[in-house]
A and B are shown apart, each in its own frame.
Chain A
Amino acid sequence: MARIRRFLPHLVLGAGAFIVVLPFYWMFLTSIRSPAEIFDVSLWPIPKQFDMAQNYGRAASQVPMLRFMLNGLIVCLGILIVQVATAVPAAYALAKLNFPGRKLLLTLVIAALCVPIQALALPLFVGLAKLDLLNTYFAMMAPFFLSVFAIFLFHQSFRSYPDEIIEAARMDGFSEMEICWSLVLRGSLPSLAAFSVFSVVAHWNDLYWPMIVVTDINLAPPPLGMLFFSDVESGANYGALMAGAALITAPMIVCFLLARRHFIAGITMTGVK
């Protein structure tokens, strides 16, 4: 009985992990199989015919995969930098400064968490179109510059920073901006790592918004590029398609593995999710 109790959590977690990992495994499996085996439900890792080189070669040569990745990198980094630059001071002010209306502003931040991007898509699109900014990197980044999620996450983590250290810093002559960036954010690096992973993964994988504002294939981030790719192939070559998908997923997986420890600390520390 005690044995079962010891292994039960592992069993449940293992089952959960299996469900999460399976699509990735299938994607990878498909990317190395020959077209004849694509619809084979077998999970056996060694295909009868090894088509890995062919599939990946196709994915890399038929569409400008590197270009898509570079676009994705520009968009993700641009969004992340502006998000952090705006959210950190906002979160610091909401967490540690006293001013009239602070509670109201915090409530608004939390309320804004509930507004989905789809609800704003039309006015944003019209606005960008009027300003003649469609088909630019800016159009892909602008709606995400101000992240209420980032403000909320940093607020949760900044709140626990000791007030006495902030006061000591004020007496030592630190400006509020120096306190915010060099002391308080410094004490919340796990949250910064967690937020960076959230943000980069979300925008790297975002298909919805780039599809609305970008029609130029040279500006397409990876998921949109994949869409062009599958059009080119008219959806027939799943092996090559999955090879492309594997290529654009790989940076995210590497990125998460590198920041894994900070990411998990950031999530558990701030009580988000």
Chain B
Amino acid sequence: MQQSVELAGIGKGFGAFDVLKNIDLSVRPGEFLSLVGMSGCGKSTLLRIIAGLERPDRGSVAIGGSDVTELDPSARNLAMVFQSYALYPHMSVRQNIATPLRMRRLSLAGRLPLVGALAASAEVLHDIDKSVEQAAETLQISHLLDRKPAQLSGGQRQRVALARALVRSPAAFLMDEPLSNLDAKLRAHMRNELAALHCRLGATFIYVTHDQIEAMTMSDRIALMNEGQIEQLGTPSQLYEHPATLTVARFIGTPSINLVPVEVLSNGSVSLFGHVLGLAAGGHDAGPATLGVRAEHISIGSEGLPLRVLRTETHGADRFVHAHLLADETLRVTLRLTAGEPLAADTADVIQVSFPPERAHLFGRDGVRLAALPTDRVAA
């Protein structure tokens, strides 16, 4: 259950459109790796290429060190959990979970209905039964074994799909947005269960999602994809604290990162609407750039950048203050205050905010991160 998955130079096009452009990715044995990105970024196609359901135009796939690029899906010993769960509708839960094992261990004659029971060895059948019960126990669905998928709730179907994946002890688990058909509460619950399952099995998980919270909460590493390329690969905190590009910064984090246009001056200092910030851009390219600051790094003070408050949102443990720049109404800024922090401002009041310069992210015109060093002064 612990195998590495290596992708080298994977390329895939549909017609004239390149869905994947030269993807290199190496998934370590036992790792929980998420592929995240907007819909259409190629993450599902990449997963399907790993599964063997799609052939890449270029590049190779290796599992556990051996090249499987030319192998059929069933020969790769991978298990996949689909968004719709893809349970066999006419089979009971027990038969559904047993199917991967029956396909592997029984001959064609043994799989036939009725006569199959005569052709298959009793020992193998007993073995399969035992594995099925074990998998069902792991996912706490033993009491559902004799039902049909149509009689189950979404969460229960999800568990059956997981049990069906689990029962074959695959080299790696592939999951294609498995939680997106569940309601919000169940999704949070299943997130914990999946993470716990990963811990218990120690298996390699490759998990596709468009939901950055799922990726952030469960993964060891995240590969953020955009337009057929991996934009950044790293741990959740690396992506959050050091986004490599504007796309990554925008995608990761709730509420979204605050982005404002700034000007890099010829001496390297950064100016926001004529207001010079305590930052120096590492690159020497003067010109427009984008400044990003996370909501929790902005604090209200007696001096700094003036904002007008639009509304406050209470979330229990913390509050979000939505405001816009006094200099430009279209530029929205969100602040995150803990519940204890007082807010001496009402809607339409003007507040002044600042942020520690080492928490600022600076992105060049092409969206790539620029080194930004704090100068002595406290920023804005």
Which residues does A use to contact B, with CB under 8 Å? 162, 164-165, 167-174, 178, 183, 186-187
A167 & B86 in contact (Cβ 8 Å cutoff): yes
A167 & B80 in contact (Cβ 8 Å cutoff): yes
Q: Can you sample 18 A-B contacts with CB below 8 Å?
A: A162-B84, A164-B82, A165-B86, A165-B88, A165-B89, A167-B51, A167-B80, A167-B82, A167-B86, A170-B72, A172-B74, A172-B99, A173-B74, A173-B103, A174-B103, A183-B88, A186-B90, A187-B89
B53 & A171 in contact (Cβ 8 Å cutoff): yes
Q: A172–B167 Cα gap in the complex (Å)?
A: 11
Number of interface residues of B (CB under 8 A): 22
A171 & B90 in contact (Cβ 8 Å cutoff): no
Per-residue 0/1 for B60-103: is the Cβ within 8 Å of any A Cβ (1 yes, 0 no)?
00000000000011100011101110111110000000011001
Q: Which residues on the B side are within 8 Å of A171 (C-beta)?
A: 51-53, 73-74, 78-80
How far is the CB of B356 from the nearest CB of chain A, in Å?
A: 48
Q: Which residue of B lies closest to A166 (CB)?
A: B86
Given contacts A164-B84, A167-B82, A173-B100, 12 further A-B pairs with CB under 8 A are A162-B86, A164-B82, A164-B86, A167-B53, A168-B82, A168-B86, A168-B88, A170-B73, A172-B103, A173-B74, A173-B103, A187-B90
Q: A79–B27 Cα gap in the complex (Å)?
A: 55
B104 interface residue (CB < 8 Å to A): yes
Q: Which residues on the A side are within 8 Å of B103 (C-beta)?
A: 172-174
The one of A168, A178, A183, A187 that contacts B80, using a Cβ cutoff of 8 Å? A168
Per-residue 0/1 for B84-128: is the Cβ within 8 Å of any A Cβ (1 yes, 0 no)?
101111100000000110011000000100000000000000000
How far is the CB of A176 from the nearest CB of chain B, in Å?
A: 11
Q: Which residue of A lies closest to B54 (CB)?
A: A167
How far is the CB of A226 from the nearest CB of chain B, in Å?
A: 41
B88 & A170 in contact (Cβ 8 Å cutoff): no
How far is the CB of B103 from the nearest CB of chain A, in Å?
A: 4
Q: A165–B80 Cα gap in the complex (Å)?
A: 11
A172 & B100 in contact (Cβ 8 Å cutoff): yes
How far is the CB of B47 from the nearest CB of chain A, in Å?
A: 11
Q: Which residues on the A side are within 8 Å of B86 (C-beta)?
A: 162, 164-165, 167-168
The one of A164, A169, A170, A186 that contacts B83, using a Cβ cutoff of 8 Å? A164
How far is the CB of B234 from the nearest CB of chain A, in Å?
A: 30
Q: Which residues on the A side are within 8 Å of B83 (C-beta)?
A: 164
Which residues does B use to contact A, with CB under 8 Å? 51-53, 72-74, 78-80, 82-84, 86-90, 99-100, 103-104, 111
How far is the CB of B33 from the nearest CB of chain A, in Å?
A: 19
Q: Which residues on the B side are within 8 Å of A165 (C-beta)?
A: 86-89
Q: Which residue of A lies closest to B48 (CB)?
A: A167
Q: Which residues on the A side are within 8 Å of B88 (C-beta)?
A: 165, 168-169, 183
Q: Which residue of B lies closest to A174 (CB)?
A: B103
Q: Which residues on the A side are within 8 Å of B52 (C-beta)?
A: 171
Q: A170–B52 Cα gap in the complex (Å)?
A: 9
Q: Which residues on the B side are within 8 Å of A170 (C-beta)?
A: 53, 72-74
Q: A169–B53 Cα gap in the complex (Å)?
A: 11
Q: A162–B82 Cα gap in the complex (Å)?
A: 11
Q: A174–B99 Cα gap in the complex (Å)?
A: 9
Q: Which residues on the B side are within 8 Å of A169 (C-beta)?
A: 88
How far is the CB of A27 from the nearest CB of chain B, in Å?
A: 41
List 8 A-B pairs, minimum CB-CB distance, nearest first: A173-B74, A173-B103, A168-B86, A164-B86, A164-B82, A165-B86, A171-B73, A172-B100
Q: Which residues on the B side are within 8 Å of A167 (C-beta)?
A: 51, 53, 73, 80, 82, 86
How far is the CB of A265 from the nearest CB of chain B, in Å?
A: 15
B80 & A173 in contact (Cβ 8 Å cutoff): no
The one of B53, B84, B87, B104 that contacts A173, using a Cβ cutoff of 8 Å? B104
How far is the CB of B366 from the nearest CB of chain A, in Å?
A: 37
How far is the CB of B89 from the nearest CB of chain A, in Å?
A: 7
Q: Which residue of A lies closest to B89 (CB)?
A: A187
How far is the CB of B99 from the nearest CB of chain A, in Å?
A: 5
Q: A115–B187 Cα gap in the complex (Å)?
A: 55
Q: A183–B103 Cα gap in the complex (Å)?
A: 14
Q: Which residues on the B side are within 8 Å of A178 (C-beta)?
A: 111
Q: Which residues on the B side are within 8 Å of A168 (C-beta)?
A: 80, 82, 86, 88
Q: Which residues on the B side are within 8 Å of A174 (C-beta)?
A: 74, 103
How far is the CB of A158 from the nearest CB of chain B, in Å?
A: 14
Q: A174–B52 Cα gap in the complex (Å)?
A: 14
How far is the CB of B113 from the nearest CB of chain A, in Å?
A: 8
Q: A20–B86 Cα gap in the complex (Å)?
A: 44
Q: Which residue of A lies closest to B76 (CB)?
A: A171
Q: A174–B106 Cα gap in the complex (Å)?
A: 12
How far is the CB of B160 from the nearest CB of chain A, in Å?
A: 12
How far is the CB of A160 from the nearest CB of chain B, in Å?
A: 13
Q: A169–B82 Cα gap in the complex (Å)?
A: 12
Q: Which residues on the A side are within 8 Å of B104 (C-beta)?
A: 173
How far is the CB of B186 from the nearest CB of chain A, in Å?
A: 20
Q: Which residues on the B side are within 8 Å of A183 (C-beta)?
A: 88
Q: Which residue of A lies closest to B101 (CB)?
A: A172
How far is the CB of A181 from the nearest CB of chain B, in Å?
A: 11
Q: A17–B276 Cα gap in the complex (Å)?
A: 87
How far is the CB of B377 from the nearest CB of chain A, in Å?
A: 57
How far is the CB of B90 from the nearest CB of chain A, in Å?
A: 5
Q: Which residue of B lies closest to A187 (CB)?
A: B89
How far is the CB of A96 from the nearest CB of chain B, in Å?
A: 13
Q: Which residues on the A side are within 8 Å of B84 (C-beta)?
A: 162, 164
Q: Which residues on the B side are within 8 Å of A173 (C-beta)?
A: 74, 100, 103-104
Q: A165–B149 Cα gap in the complex (Å)?
A: 13
